[in-house]
Amino acid sequence: MGRVQGKVALVTGAAAGIGRAAAVALAAEGAKVVVTDVDEKGGAETVDIIGKAGGEASFLPQDVADEARWQEIVAAVKEKHGALHILVNNAGIGVGARIFDMPVEDWRRQMAINVDGVFFGVKHGIPLMAESGGGSVVNISSVAGLQGAPGLAGYCATKGAVRLFTKAVALECAQEKMNVRVNSVHPGIIDTDIWNKIPQGGTSALQSDLIPEGANTIDAGALGEMAAPLGFAGIPADIANGIVFLASDESRYMTGSELVIDGGMTAR
Ligand SMILES: NC(=O)c1ccc[n+]([C@@H]2O[C@H](COP(=O)([O-])OP(=O)(O)OC[C@H]3O[C@@H](n4cnc5c(N)ncnc54)[C@H](O)[C@@H]3O)[C@@H](O)[C@H]2O)c1
């Protein structure tokens, strides 16, 4: 018996990185996983990886910043599986910029994906979860939702929002006796492609601070060595392990809480 045997899970941003690792781990523990992402090729690859490992998964293209699409996705999950028990709001982007130079378009795009996306997931996903007898929502925040980082002020704003939004929604679900738990996960430096996508050109505070000399993009491995007390960057599976725990009934007494997986970064 898997730890989430027979449950229906929806993981956003699951074409790569942490989302893919979460989808793979949930499927390995017996969940039927709906993989969504704007990246259709990567999404299909995730489904393929799960299928080859003997798990069950399907892909739906989704931009999490689009509310109407969220409604279609939840309707499609209900139609195919008749239920939703696990929702991992993982899709996210990082825009590095000195805040004084940040175009409002970048601010809004990051807010739309990292914050609106989580709001829509909660708004449209939780009613189906409640209808399904209950479940667990896992919102992916960051250490950047717990402490500031120069060059990442916009990103910190989105991840701080996810942290407190999670707590308030957890309380609403408890108050309404929905049997839905809602928690946030706070990864530290995890070696995924997000770090290669962050530099936007120009001279951001982030770039000058975090890009190792001679490199074009942020090297997550080098950054992990530098910034994490454990002395190395995490891998997506480190976060997926926490996600499976929060998704499963092992965490039945946890709601509105923060699971920090950061190699000690925020212990200082
Ligand atoms: N990697 C880290 O060090 C780290 C640290 C803290 C928090 N996080 C958070 O973890 C989550 C996953 O990040 P990752 O490191 O795996 O990044 P990643 O870039 O490897 O993967 C993110 C995925 O989200 C998808 N995505 C982007 N915009 C989308 C949209 N509008 N709709 C749907 N999907 C979209 C991308 O296509 C990609 O597949 C993010 O929320 C990120 O902020 C990452």
Here the tokens at position 68 are 């109407």
In tens, the pLDDT along 38-61 reads 999 999 999 999 999 999 999 999
CB 178 within 8 A of CB 217: no
Here the tokens at position 110 are 């990051």
Could you tell me which residues are beta bridge partners of residue 34?
A: 10, 58
Task: Tell me how far apart the alpha carbons of residues 41 and 59 are, in angstroms, rounded to a whole number.
Answer: 10
Give pLDDT, residue 202.
46
Judge whether 201 lies within some domain: no
Residue range(s) defining the domain that contains residue 75: 8-194+235-262
Say how many domains are in the chain.
Answer: 1
Judge whether 267 lies within some domain: no
* Ligand 1 atom at minimal distance to the Cα of residue 189: 3
Give pLDDT, residue 217.
78
Q: Above 60 in pLDDT, residue 125?
A: yes
CB 158 within 8 A of CB 110: yes
3-state class (DSSP) for residue 148: coil
Q: Which one-letter amino acid corresponds to residue 218?
A: I
Question: pLDDT-derived band of residue 33, with 50, 70 and 90 as boundaries?
Answer: very high
Judge whether 213 lies within some domain: no
Mean pLDDT of the chain: 95
Cβ–ligand 1 distance for 97 under 6 Å, the answer: no
Here the tokens at position 262 are 């950061």
Calculate the alpha carbon distances from 62 to 38, 43, 166, 171 in Å: 5, 10, 22, 28
Cβ–ligand 1 distance for 91 under 6 Å, the answer: yes
> Of 59, 70, 120, 155, which residue is the catalytic one?
155
Judge whether 200 lies within some domain: no
Centre a 10 Å sphere on the Cβ of residue 70 and count the other Cβ atoms it contains: 24
Q: Above 90 in pLDDT, residue 87?
A: yes
Can you give the pTM of this predicted structure?
0.97
Task: Tell me how far apart the alpha carbons of residues 29 and 244 are, in angstroms, rounded to a whole number.
Answer: 8
- Domain containing residue 81: CATH number: 3.40.50.720
Closest to 156 in 3D by CA, of 107, 208, 218: 107
Cβ–ligand 1 distance for 92 under 6 Å, the answer: yes
Judge whether 214 lies within some domain: no
Judge whether 221 lies within some domain: no
Q: Above 70 in pLDDT, residue 208?
A: no
Indicate the Cα dihedral angle 46, 18, 122, 65, nearest 10°. -80
Cα(21) to ligand 1 centroid in Å equals 12
